A and B are shown apart, each in its own frame.
Chain A
Amino acid sequence: MPSELIHRYMRIDHLPQIWCPGCGNGTIMRDVAAAIQELIDDPEKDINRDNIVIVSGIGCSSRAAGYLDFNSIHTTHGRAIAFATGIKFANPKLNVIVLTGDGDCSAIGGNHLIHAARRNMGLTVIAFNNNIYGMTGGQYSPTTPDGDVATTAPFGNVDRPFDIANLASGAGASFSARGDVYHVRETIDIIKEAIQHKGFSLVDVYSVCPTYYGRKNHKGSAVDMLRWQKENLIPTARYYSMPEEERAGKKLIGILSYNDYPEYTEEYAKLVKAYRKKK
């Protein structure tokens, strides 16, 4: 029996989803739905279901758009953020949420990621980061750690990996955060913050891919991969209370950078208003 959350916000006719057993993507999709549900149910928040648009690209992550019961558009590989830019700019009252993957948003779509961040376009980007191209069967992505193995890196990956959250923040994103699939509550809260943030927000959510990335790199089962997240990805409060030496090799789960740069569509509207007044 599906939960209330699934009943309300997922397209039950299209479930079960296509992801492998143990895949982290289902957890992230549920986190997104839970974040939206909590915002809709909160009378103090101005979030309306009809105004939510889910935009995805291509890859394992991007199938999520079809399962979530909102306006949804499953676009082309790498271009989700560019489609989303058009949607948001055309109708700024929409809450536009991009569901993308590490390859989709930092390889083929890397240019759109950094430019949407630079413009501070009011989008929320959730990167399902599983360190691999899963849909095509396990090729290395821009977030595959160097030395790791993939079908196209049979002797180890020579590339250095991107940290997507830092990449976005370096490109000027006004909200950049990291989540994972182990720390569900924390990640839901981070996604809620991201959706409410007016400017460009990005949440780099560490997924797990036991089928390809995990198996190729001897990371054990899905449970083992989640255990690794539990031990090495540390929520904000605990992270900052840890002694410096204990933080080595560990990563923060939480908001990494935040500022209140003016949002693009609001700035454009202001510009047009001032120009028309002058005329």
Chain B
Amino acid sequence: MSKTVLLQGNEAAVEGAIAAGMRFFAGYPITPSTEIAERSAIRLPEEGGKFIQMEDELASIAAVLGASAAGMKAMTATSGPGFSLMQENIGYGAMAEIPCVIVDVQRVGPSTGLATSPSQGDYMQAKWGTHGDHPVIALSPSSVLETYTLMVRAFNLSEKYRTPVIFLMDEIVGHLREDVSLPDPNSLIINRRKLSFHDGANKQCYYVPEGEYVPAMKPFGQGERYNITGLAHDESGFPINDHDKAGKLINRLIDKVEHNADHIVRVEQYEMDDAETAIVCFGGTARSVMSAVQAARAAGHKVGMFRPITVWPFPDKPLRARLPQLRNILMVEHNHGQMLLEMQRVAGRDVPVHFLGRVDGTVISPDDVLAKLEEMEG
């Protein structure tokens, strides 16, 4: 651990990314994510990296994918409206299997909404924002320190599975400054995409050996003249109209995430061992829930917090393991009930799922959570 410093969540996102090897940032200013671009503009030249402010978010994500195809670890950062604009090319990244990280510091929507106020209204968009069936990995930090460490993981997952990773922040954490002791960058495990093509099938660029999910990826300019396309393609990387091959491709893209969910999924469970009520939340909402759980415990209630850190794929398995002990689930999120739908899917008829949400741009306080718990008891 290094010495303790004061750091903002948005700044920690940049520092974590740089520690993970991010050396290319393309973005467009938008509140409340702009500090990520500003810090990248200062820090990347220091690290031998590249920063560019593009003409819009459509261009930003495209430039990031281009830079990644040329071999760099690349990132962009935006907020709601910009995240909407990026969706088409997030799907391209999933289809062409180009690693990158997209930070979305959520704000209140729809439309321009409340630019400076916190929200978690992009949870479902992170999964279903781009058209078509596709894999999604999305991570959501709840503190400044976790923003740093989780960003390293975001790049690692992106490189390992060759897919865009959504880093779903909220204004609560993005604009929060806290005292943090960052880990020594040399102590971090850093993954890199497999750079030389798999043997077999004439070393085709999208060839995946039996039992594996991820093709290797060689940067442009190293003597392999291969093709990348957003059209359905075969192992050679060229467009096809063969439905068997197209189905095989799209299923593999989804399977590489779903079948590796045990590796990808992380949750935090606090006071869950004997909990009869689980409060589920993600991102900055956890700060209110933690305080509420402590207060509820102090008053003798068997309450715990279950926090998906990996928010996509949804942590079905660890949550299911908790269901037998639970009498109640309370979903708390700063939206109109988005993760709630996943909760209801997993909890089914076994455990009743209650909901506390907010869409007005104010933060749900611990008192709000306690009042809701009381209402549930009553």
Contacts and interface: CB of A to CB of B under 8 A. Distances in A.
A85 B63 contact: yes
Interface in B18-65: 24, 26, 45-46, 48, 50, 52, 54-56, 58-60, 62-65
Nearest to B45: A272
Contact of A86 (B55, B65, B222): B65
Contact of A66 (B70, B74, B227): B227
B334 to A, nearest CB: 32
B135 to A, nearest CB: 18
B221 A76 contact: no
A55 B228 CA distance: 9
Contacts of A83: 62-63, 65-66, 69
Contact of A279 (B46, B70, B226, B227): B46
Contacts of B70: 53, 86-87, 90-91, 94
B45 A55 contact: no
A73 interface: yes
A82 interface: yes
A72 B24 contact: no
A159 interface: no
A26 to B, nearest CB: 18
A65 B227 contact: yes
A115 B67 contact: no
Contacts of B231: 74
Nearest to A49: B225
Contacts of A115: 54-55, 59
A86 B228 contact: no
A93 B71 CA distance: 13
A90 B238 contact: no
B61 to A, nearest CB: 8
B74 A90 contact: yes
A14 B238 CA distance: 8
Nearest to B56: A111
B282 interface: no
- B interface majority secondary structure: mixed
Nearest to B52: A89
Interface in B258-301: none
A71 B54 CA distance: 24
A182 to B, nearest CB: 30
Nearest to B55: A115
B305 to A, nearest CB: 40
Given A76-B88, A79-B89, A91 B45 contact: no
A192 interface: no
A65 B220 CA distance: 14
Nearest to A119: B52
Contacts of A86: 24, 26, 62-70, 74
Contact of A111 (B55, B89, B225): B55
Given A85-B59, A111-B56, A279-B46, A51 B221 contact: yes
B223 A112 contact: no
Most buried by A among B45, B56, B231: B45
B362 interface: no
A93 B227 contact: no
A91 B71 CA distance: 8
A60 to B, nearest CB: 14
Given A53-B220, A76-B88, A79-B59, A89 B239 contact: no
B64 to A, nearest CB: 6
A93 B219 CA distance: 13
Contacts of B238: 11, 14, 66
B154 to A, nearest CB: 19
A73 B229 contact: yes
A78 B227 CA distance: 18
A232 interface: no
Given A86-B74, A276-B45, A76 B67 contact: no
B67 to A, nearest CB: 4
A69 interface: yes
Nearest to B50: A89
B227 A89 contact: no
A63 to B, nearest CB: 8
B257 interface: no
A85 B230 contact: no
Contact of B230 (A71, A76, A111): A76
Contacts of A71: 220-221, 224-226
B72 interface: yes
A11 B224 CA distance: 13
Interface in B204-249: 219-231, 238-239
A89 B67 contact: yes
A89 B55 contact: no
A155 interface: no
A90 B59 contact: no
Given A86-B66, A90-B74, A50 B221 contact: yes
Interface string B81-113: 000000011001000100000000000000000
Given A74-B230, A76-B92, A93-B221, A85 B52 contact: yes
B190 to A, nearest CB: 19
Given A74-B228, A94-B220, A79 B69 contact: no
A74 B88 contact: no
A90 B67 contact: yes
8 contacts: A14-B238, A50-B225, A53-B70, A73-B220, A86-B26, A87-B70, A91-B220, A279-B46
Listed from nearest, the 6 A-B pairs whose CB atoms lie closest are: A86-B66, A86-B63, A82-B62, A90-B67, A82-B59, A90-B70
Interface of A: 11, 14, 49-51, 53, 55, 65-66, 69-76, 78-79, 82-91, 93-94, 111-112, 115, 268, 271-272, 275-276, 279
